[in-house]
Amino acid sequence: MGIRTRKKHPDKALTPVQIRALNKPGRYADGNGLYLKVTESGAKRWELRTVVRGKRCDIGLGGLKLVSLAEAREEAQKYRKLARDDGDPVAAKRRARKGVPTFKEAAESVHREHAKAWKNAKHNDQWINTLKTYAFPVFGDRKVDQVQTPDVLKALTPVWLAKPETARRVRQRIGTVLDWAKAAGFRSGDNPVSEISRALPRQPDRRGHHAALPYADVSTFLRKLHEAEPTSASLAFEFLILTAARTSEVLEAKWSEIDLEQAAWTIPPDRMKAGREHRVPLAPRAIELLSQAKQLSAGSEFVFPGRSNDKPMSNMVLLMIVRRLEVDCTVHGFRSAFRDWASERTNFAREICEAALAHIVKDKTEAAYRRGDLFEKRRELMATWAAFATATKAEIIPLRLSIS
């Protein structure tokens, strides 16, 4: 018995001359699943046989009159790669017939889909507006499958060094749109954003944290804040400092969340970064601020309304206060001032301080056993912080030195 040799699979077996000569009905292999099918009528058309998600699938690639041998090989390679990546070439082909969207249309689709999960309206607007400003003018009208690395480079280069943080966000959002386009079957191959950093100059080192005012200067800041008649903005700023809350949590606070009898403010999950309800104990001074704010809110549902009573105050109002008082810090940085004070000037346990900032417990074991929110212990912490922050220079505020 002779030795049987394995027949070699064809690879680019067909030539234009052979194709023209073929007239017998049947299927003729070019290789890698690509066939030329000749019908009884003599018509010739391309067909790709491949495996899609575990099942054999025959995909028509068009007639010979419209699709050349080279084009058929290119299309076959694209669909085979899509199938290997667990995609669906048939669905992709169907969508292609409907028309590939432009980058602008794709971005708007992604924005609509993601907006359902975003809690922050400001982030929702910023997401699409940065693309409108920096990406759409360069390649917004180009089909999403035609966007390549040079296009992305052209959009990012003008702002890469001038506005580093904005540029990084634009790059990430362009990448998200192109990833969506690939998943939807409108693109194939690698995302051109993935290698773009190698073509761009190195950005200056990022500032790792929000600039914070030294905690020893907080009381001086509050005195300057209230040198003039109290305004809704100045009340909101002090309330933010005394509660160690985030800017959006304070500005979007509603009277329905405030329980004056219990001296507590309950922030609902949809307004919290961690997505869970957070109770804030209110020090006596914070209650006083709310009483003054009530007189200025003119019946608004918001504790600190903006120019229009049906909308909250803009965060730009607080930012302008920082600039007016010529303080080298950010609004968010007052949370850092609070945390530094708690660490350096008190003996409150770390978990109490972290709970006051609504930080997530990263240790899974610890998180599993901690069911409470340490509310009463945090009440003592926030009262001590309020006393420290509002003290005058002549006052000596006794700080808690041990935990009973």
Domain ranges of the chain: 16-98, 103-199, 215-389
pTM check: above 0.85 = no
The pLDDT value given to residue 307: 85
The pLDDT value given to residue 366: 46
Q: Give residue-wise pLDDT tens across range 3-33.
A: 555 556 677 888 988 888 888 888 898 888 8
Report whether pLDDT(219) > 80.
Answer: yes
Same fold, 16-98 and 215-389: no
What HEC string does the chain produce? CCCCCCCCCCECCCCHHHHHHCCCCEEEEEECCEEEEECCCCCEEEEEEEEECCEEEEEEEEECCCCCHHHHHHHHHHHHHHHHCCCCHHHHHHHHHHCCCEHHHHHHHHHHHHHCCCCCHHHHHHHHHHHHHHCHHHHCCCEHHHCCHHHHHHHHHHHHCCCHHHHHHHHHHHHHHHHHHHHCCCCCCCCHHHHHHHHCCCCCCCCCCCCCCCHHHHHHHHHHHCCCCCCHHHHHHHHHHHHCCCHHHHHCCEHHHEECCCCEEEECHHHCCCCCCEEEECCHHHHHHHHHHHHHCCCCCECCECCCCCCECCHHHHHHHHHHCCCCCCCCHHHHHHHHHHHHHCCCCHHHHHHHCCCCCCCHHHHHHCCCCCHHHHHHHHHHHHHHHCCCCCCCCCCCCCCC
> Once rounded to an integer, what is the mean pLDDT over residues 355-380?
70
The pLDDT value given to residue 396: 47
Q: How confident is the model at residue 183 (pLDDT cuts 50, 70, 90)?
A: confident
> Once rounded to an integer, what is the mean pLDDT over residues 216-241?
90
Q: Give CATH superfamily name and number for 16-98.
A: Integrase, DNA-binding domain (3.30.160.390)
Chosen CATH of 215-389 out of 1.10.10.10, 1.10.443.10, 1.10.10.410, 3.90.330.10: 1.10.443.10
Report whether pLDDT(77) > 90.
Answer: no
Mean pLDDT taken over the chain: 83
Is the model more confident about 360 or about 166? 166
> Once rounded to an integer, what is the mean pLDDT over residues 290-314?
90
The pLDDT value given to residue 100: 84
Q: Using CA atoms, how far apart are residues 49 and 60, in angstroms rounded to an integer?
A: 9
Report whether pLDDT(228) > 80.
Answer: no
Q: Give CATH superfamily name and number for 103-199.
A: Tyrosine recombinase, N-terminal domain (1.10.150.130)
Q: Give residue-wise pLDDT tens across range 240-293.
A: 999 999 999 999 999 999 999 999 999 998 888 878 899 999 999 999 999 999
The pLDDT value given to residue 394: 42
Count of residues for the chain? Answer: 404
Report whether pLDDT(193) > 90.
Answer: no
The pLDDT value given to residue 50: 85
Is the model more confident about 214 or about 241? 241
The pLDDT value given to residue 270: 86
Report whether pLDDT(73) > 70.
Answer: yes
Report whether pLDDT(404) > 90.
Answer: no
